[in-house]
Amino acid sequence: MRILHDDVVLISQSDKEGEPSVITVNCPDKTGLGCDLCRILLFFGLSIVRGDVSTDGKWCYIVFWVVCKPTTRWELLKKRLVEACPCCSSASEIFYYRSELQPPKPPDVFLLKLCFLCNLELNIKKVKVSTIPDGTVIDLFFVTDTRELLHTKIRQEETYKALEDIMQRIVINFNIEKVGPEIAACSQASPFLPSGITEDIFHLEVSNELPSISLTSNNVSVVMDNSLSPAHTLVQIVCQDHKGLLYDIMRTLKDYSIQISYGRVYIRQGSKCEIDLFIMQADGKKIVDPSKQSPLSSHLKMELLQLLRVAVVSRGPDTELLVANPVELSSKGRPLVFYDITCALKMLNTCIFSAEVGRHMIGDREWEVYRVLLDEGASLSIPRQKVEEGVWKLLMGWE
């Protein structure tokens, strides 16, 4: 018997500004469902202030209390949440590139392009942004279309119309093509990363003391208890709230194939977050073995202490901003990172000379690395630490 799509996701919008709206998901269960749903909420710019999860292993009931933006597209959000549920088929990905030529502009124009791509549900996979000697800017975006319609004329015309509306006739040329093997080969990001980045930033050791750098969250506590339930392990997490917090916890549990049977999330005053999760392994057993508890606990703590790596480094005579985030085992990256980076640089009045996104294996993990070459004049006028902190705070939602 098929469940009606209208009953899978129910959204109750708040009548008063500032009060949370309620999203209810009622569908068959699967490992990682919570991660997939939280990723969608993060993509739509929603902040989760409370959550309840309950499942019997076959069917789940999830409630999110979220604070939204005035521009939230509720119907589209509901459609994407429904598609993530096991009762609905998932879309496959098709790669395209979009190229355009235009006069040089500061970060706010580049931000408009990213906003335009996000609003059209075009997910950025790779980006090449560069300025040629005559001052013309070339942007090459490798994207996937959530709707899987970018190969159609109607969808391409819709994309061009949206770009034209937002850029106001300053686009010289615009083109959409399906990626061929020769283009894909030329578009690969540089495989080389500065040794200081791989050694000092990515290899964060979890300890009772925070790292000396300031780009970390505060006072993360992860405690596991097997005494309160005969069938489940209780994971209690207390930490500072940040943008995508629940997604970061859920993706970690998903990568370990951990199932959540019951959970509650509360945001206290002062952005202190308290999370209780009753979990079990894929085989339906609680986590008793210390050799399994310790890696999971350490991984959760590491992700919440410093889930994103941000650094400004020298690249020869130039200055480069690097931002990295871990990739899910399902190959999904964190939503809207490039958009937030551009927002932060706009606030700092720092221009982008070129940018690229690529994936790198560091240790046994895959990382999505954003490399932004800053405009030489602007990069020299702002201290590196201020750029790092500005980007970090916006990515964490602390701006």
Domain borders along the chain are 1-90, 189-209+306-398, 217-305
Which fold, 217-305?
Answer: Alpha-Beta Plaits (3.30.70)
3-class SS of residue 152: coil
Q: Which of 214, 213, 256 is nearest to 393 (CA)?
A: 214
- The predicted structure's pLDDT at residue 281: 92
The tokens describing 287, both together, are: 């986590």
- Give whole-number Cα distances, 359 to 222, 239, 248, 368, in Å: 29, 29, 19, 4
* pLDDT at 330 (0 to 100): 81
Does the pTM surpass 0.85? The reply is: no
Q: Under CATH, to which class is 189-209+306-398 assigned? A: alpha beta
Structure confidence by residue, pLDDT tens digits, 45-61: 899 999 999 988 888 99
Report the alpha-carbon distance of residue 124 to residue 118 in Å, rounded: 8
Domains 1-90 and 217-305 share a fold: yes
pLDDT in tens, 171-201: 667 777 777 665 555 455 555 666 555 654 4
Domain 1-90 carries which CATH code? Answer: 3.30.70.260
Q: What is the mean pLDDT of each run of 10 residues along the chain (399 residues)?
A: 66 87 93 92 91 89 91 88 73 35 44 61 69 69 78 85 69 74 54 57 43 60 93 94 92 92 84 92 92 92 85 83 87 85 88 80 82 69 87 88
How far is residue 90's CA from residue 144's CA, in Å, rounded to a whole number? Answer: 14
